[in-house]
Amino acid sequence: MSTLTAPGTSARPVAVEISGTTPIHQIVAFGAMVTLLVLAPFVVYPVFLMKALCFALFACAFNLLVGYVGLLSFGHAAFLGCAGYASAHAAKVWGFAPESAIVFGTLVAAALGVVIGALTIRSRGIYFANITLAFAQMIFFFSLQAKFTGGEDGIQAVPRGTMFGVLDLRQTYTMYFVVLVVFLLGFLVVYRSIHSPFGQVLKAIRENEPRATSLGYQAERYKLIAFVLSATLAGTAGATKALVFQLASLTDVHWTMSGEVVLMTLLGGMGTVFGPVVGAFLVISLEHYLAQIGSWLTIVQGTIFIVCVLTFRRGVIGELGRLLKKPL
Amino acid sequence: MNVLRIVTLVAALAVVAAPAHAQISDGVIKIGIMNDQSGTYADLAGPGSVVAARMAIEDFGAAKKGMKVEVLVADHQNKPDVGSSIARQWFDADKVDVIIDVPTSSVVLAVNQIAREKNKALIVSTGATSDLTGPQCSPNAIHWTYDTWSLANGTGSAVVKTGGDTWFFLTADYKFGHDLERDTDAVVVKNGGKVVGKVRHPFPNADFSSFLLQAQSSKAKVIGLANAGADTINAIKQGAEFGIVKGGQQFAGLLVFLTDVHALGLEKAQGLLLTESFYWDLNDRTRAFSTKFAERHRQAKPTMAQAGVYSAVLHYLKAVEALKSDDGPKVIAKMKELPTDDPVFGKGMVRADGRKIHPVYLFEVKKPSESKGPWDYYKVRATVPAEQAFRPMDQGHCPLVKK
């Protein structure tokens, strides 16, 4: 399957699925994931799970771009962080309800995605990574200096509020299931985009852009749409995260966050549907359970990254999919 | 009849005694020490604060009194998001009853919100923002050791009075720096001085050259350092390379800890005026405490932040013992009710707005020739009595204080 082949290494022809039916094993995997996530908060600390879910959505959004279009953005933190600031500010200062705050944050990220995307999409490879990083650094500096973001302090004490006027988000479990629904919606949007004719064009561009162009597809336009979609979903993740932690801070716009999402995606499996989710849970668990060792954490993360690149390049889910001979 | 009496008595005893045990949540008093374990503020609080907390638990005699006390430690890396997720996790999952220490004002305010939301207790020793007993004061929090107002009041007014009447601020660009700059600015102006400029540097920062050049070209007599820890050390060290002091300008370190002076060395730090509420060589009690502390912490004398943690843990345990409960706001109320007495600050009290009151000292850093040995760094220039050392309650705009 095309979803298994890393860009540029493909020897097999790209299989095209236009049948519209979802393979049974993916339905099973999705069902297992939903069941686990519904049951998890009763066993594991819910706030930790919410964090992991927000990052899972972020990684899925990132994966849409890197895994299926082959564009490595090194500035995705800009969308995550900006949406976080926007939704935090909307909820705290303008008194938006949580659902409107999330939508507002998402729209801000989308708008930012259009601007940055339009300016960067013509470049590719390392140039694309560098230019997106440059934009993200501008956003970081803006967040540091702008009045409303609170600089180093961030926007604190963001009210979670009551969603749709009935769901009291101050209750941890209510908040959790709202986050879960947001995540699943985002996940399904990514899934649908990948498994649509649009997604096939993206993969075709990834495999061979001149050929896709010669077939009459306007590659740049497709890439831009994918970029904006990815930015938008990253924004949803950031906006939701700000409500969960009642805080929007510089950490989310810092370049290390852009690096972290690369790690999540690679570890889980680039270009797989479930990989980014698994990767996000792995990385967040590491950070969570190894927080005691302080700054050594980055060394542990680095080691894992090296081991991953040396021994299982396809990531956890990628390798699993290869063993099962089924794309996951 | 006799049996019935005994049964009633036992039943009554059980009723009286039961809540006393039941109210210590899960039978353990859990103290969370949250601070910077490895970064800019690790030396002045960090692992030393943990040592101080453990010493307080031992000196209180918790084990002998049958109280189970546990200490948890976390590194918040000076980031509000890390701090607030640790606080949530501690209160929700790990059943921590009180968070103590917390440097970095931006983190302090984030944790303060969470302690209030979860109805637990927070005692701040290293964090400085005077807003904690001002607009952001809470029935769940006490500000223990010092604050930006008392620093400004001590160092700021002393420097202006000795002729330093034009100021340029070099400010760490976050809550603490802003507050310290604001409070010092007010003191300088009140004493007839003038602020000619200010520049804000990122936090944490390693290269101060462009900021120092701005300060130098401002021609202000005094360069006020509204930062702390490694930032202050770097600014003073790099300032020496630019010849700032030789050029006739003077640094005023608005928050300098003993460990900072130790890192700078007396050669560079001599003559620096600074405000602290504790110094190891003040009296017999502080000397005895500090010797014990040094034995357990790399032979280093405690900073006021670390000594504050000791004093805070001691008083917290006294209040829990008196109350027989570790319920957050109740213990805080009890702590305000009981007078404080410990080797660190002597006798004192906690005000209604959550401000712990004790004398504050203006120190001058000794010349190398005056120092008799390691850690012999300060001489007392002035003592600010407890009543004047902190912002009067009616000026803080704390909602807990009835006007």
Do residues B251 and B379 share a domain?
yes
Query: Whole-angstrom Cα distance, residue B168 to residue B252?
Result: 10
Q: How far is A289 from chain B (nearest CA, A)?
A: 11
Query: Whole-angstrom Cα distance, residue B227 to residue B177?
Result: 6
In this prediction, residue A300 carries a pLDDT of: 86
pLDDT digit string, tens, across residues B319-341: 999 999 999 999 999 999 999 99
B400 within some domain: no
- Reply yes or no: is the peptide bond before residue A98 cis, omega within 30 of 0: no
In this prediction, residue A135 carries a pLDDT of: 96
A312 within some domain: no
**How many independent structural domains does chain B possess?**
2
Opening angle at CA B182, ends B177 and B186, nearest 5: 145
Do residues B21 and B41 share a domain?
yes
Q: Indicate the pTM of the whole model.
A: 0.85
Query: Whole-angstrom Cα distance, residue A179 to residue A37?
Result: 11
What are residue B349's DSSP bridge partners? B357
CB contact under 8 A, A294 and B37: yes
CB atoms within 10 A of CB B9: 10
Do residues B229 and B176 share a domain?
yes
Do residues B308 and B223 share a domain?
no
Q: Which domain holds residue A143?
A: 43-253
In this prediction, residue B6 carries a pLDDT of: 54
B401 within some domain: no
A247, A252, A294 member nearest B38 (Cβ): A294
The amino acid that residue B95 corresponds to is K
Do residues B255 and B300 share a domain?
no
The amino acid that residue A276 corresponds to is P
A311 within some domain: no
A295 touches chain B (CB under 8 A): yes
pLDDT digit string, tens, across residues A104-141: 999 999 999 999 999 999 998 899 999 999 999 999 99
User: Is B341 exposed, middle or buried (CB count within 10 Å of its CB: 0-12, 13-18, 19+)?
Assistant: middle
In this prediction, residue A105 carries a pLDDT of: 97
- β-pairing, A162-163 with A167-168? antiparallel
A285 touches chain B (CB under 8 A): no
**How many independent structural domains does chain A possess?**
1
pLDDT digit string, tens, across residues A260-289: 999 999 999 999 999 999 999 999 998 888
User: Is B290 exposed, middle or buried (CB count within 10 Å of its CB: 0-12, 13-18, 19+)?
Assistant: buried
Query: Whole-angstrom Cα distance, residue A229 to residue A188?
Result: 13
Which of the four pLDDT bands, split at 50, 70 and 90, describes residue A304?
A: confident
B4 within some domain: no
Query: Whole-angstrom Cα distance, residue A220 to residue A209?
Result: 10
A124 within some domain: yes
Handedness of CA B72, B75, B78, B81 (dihedral sign): negative
CB contact under 8 A, B85 and A156: no
Could you tell me if A230 and A62 are in contact, meaning their C-beta atoms sit under 8 angstroms apart?
Answer: yes
Ramachandran category for residue B321: left, alpha or beta (phi over 0 → left; psi -120 to 50 → alpha)? alpha
A209 within some domain: yes
Q: Which domain holds residue B198?
A: 149-276+360-389
Whether the predicted pLDDT of A308 surpasses 70? yes
The strand ranges marked E within A159-289 are 162-163, 167-168
A151, A156, A247 member nearest B173 (Cβ): A151
Segment A33-39 shows an average pLDDT of 96
Do residues B113 and B42 share a domain?
yes
Do residues B90 and B183 share a domain?
no
Handedness of CA A107, A111, A116, A119 (dihedral sign): positive
In this prediction, residue A288 carries a pLDDT of: 83
A211 within some domain: yes
pLDDT means per 10 residues in chain B (403 residues)?
A: 50 42 75 92 94 96 92 91 91 94 94 94 96 94 96 92 92 93 95 94 93 94 94 93 89 94 92 93 95 95 96 96 93 96 94 95 94 93 92 92 74
B309 within some domain: yes
Q: Which site among B81, B171, B175 would you substitute to test the A interface, given the most A Cβ atoms closer than 10 Å to its Cβ?
A: B81
Do residues B267 and B343 share a domain?
no
pLDDT digit string, tens, across residues A192-202: 999 999 999 99
CATH number of the domain within which B17 lies: 3.40.50.2300
A137 touches chain B (CB under 8 A): no
Residues of A in contact with B106 (CB under 8 A): 152-154, 156
Do residues B206 and B86 share a domain?
no
Please give the helix or strand (H or E) that residue B348 lies within, else none: strand B346-350
B403 within some domain: no
DSSP code of residue B154: I
- β-pairing, B222-226 with B166-172? parallel
Six-digit token pair at A82?
């900006």
ipTM surpasses 0.85: no
Please give the helix or strand (H or E) that residue B366 lies within, else none: none
B35 within some domain: yes
